[in-house]
Copies of this chain bind each other. A is one copy, B any other.
Amino acid sequence: MTIRYPNGKRYRPVRAATERQIVHNDTYSNRGKTLEDELNDSNEYYLSRNIAVIHKKPIPIQVVNVNYPSRSAAVITEAYYRTPSTTDYNGVWNGKYIDFEAKETKSKTSFPLQNIHAHQVEHMKRVQEQHGITFLIIRFSSLDRYFIVPYEMMMQKWTRMKDGGRKSIPLKEFEQEAIEIKIGLMPTIDYLKGITTLMNNEE
């Protein structure tokens, strides 16, 4: 099935994967789909069923030089990747503001916190203060396991690191404190179901 954006354009996961491999120094599994591909598919599903409007933000790029061979096709000939100042994904789900960052690791034992930038943590803190719903989605690629890390859990691990503690979150803590997401077909990663579980637990 060809997946199309609402504007009729064909969904092209290849480009997205290329960009991410350039920007992040993360490690990736050799499976066909990256976490970003799977989340894009899931967000397309949510959009097509009128469940939620959640998009990945474009990667910030600083443009230095542009050529104009013709009026219709400006060619950028010099540009640089910039560090994102927010998380990668945000949107709205039944009146609720959703904001998250997604990361994958090849490690089978822990998730290194260096994959998260300090300004992203700061952004998530601000979102939480504005009563948005913010979290991480972590994929252990070698294990094919996916977790939602609620804001409070992330901040606790982040603070522990800043206080001189360990620089990663062990898998055991994911199993005990995070919400594991089982992979499906439609959508691939039903993270909003995980968030519903989280919200019900808090009530």
A-side interface residues, number (CB < 8 Å) = 53
- The SS class assigned to the A binding surface is mixed
Give chain A interface residues in 85-140, CB to chain B under 8 Å.
85-86, 90-97, 99, 117-119, 122-123, 126-127, 129-132
Residues of B within 8 Å of A76, CB to CB, are 61, 76, 78-81
Q: Are B92 and A130 in contact (CB under 8 A)?
A: yes
- Contact indicator A94/B61 (Cβ below 8 Å): no
Q: How far is the CB of A111 from chain B (nearest CB, A)?
A: 22
Contact B94 A55 (CB under 8 A): no
Q: How far is the CA of A84 from the CA of B165 in the complex (A)?
A: 42
Q: A19-B63, A58-B58, A80-B75 are in contact. Are A6 and B126 (CB under 8 A)?
A: yes
> Does A59 touch B at the CB level, under 8 Å?
yes
Tell me, rounded to whole Å, the shortest Cβ–Cβ distance linking A93 to chain B: 6
CA gap between A117 and B127 in the complex, in Å? 29
Q: Which of A7, A58, A92 has the most CB of B within 10 A?
A: A92
Chain B residues near A78 (CB-CB < 8 A): 75-77
Residues of chain B lying within 8 A (CB to CB) of residue A80: 73-76
Told that A22-B66, A53-B130, A95-B131 touch, could you supply 17 new A-B pairs with CB distance under 8 A?
A7-B85, A9-B85, A15-B62, A22-B74, A57-B57, A57-B58, A58-B58, A76-B78, A76-B80, A76-B81, A79-B79, A91-B97, A92-B99, A92-B130, A92-B132, A94-B130, A95-B130
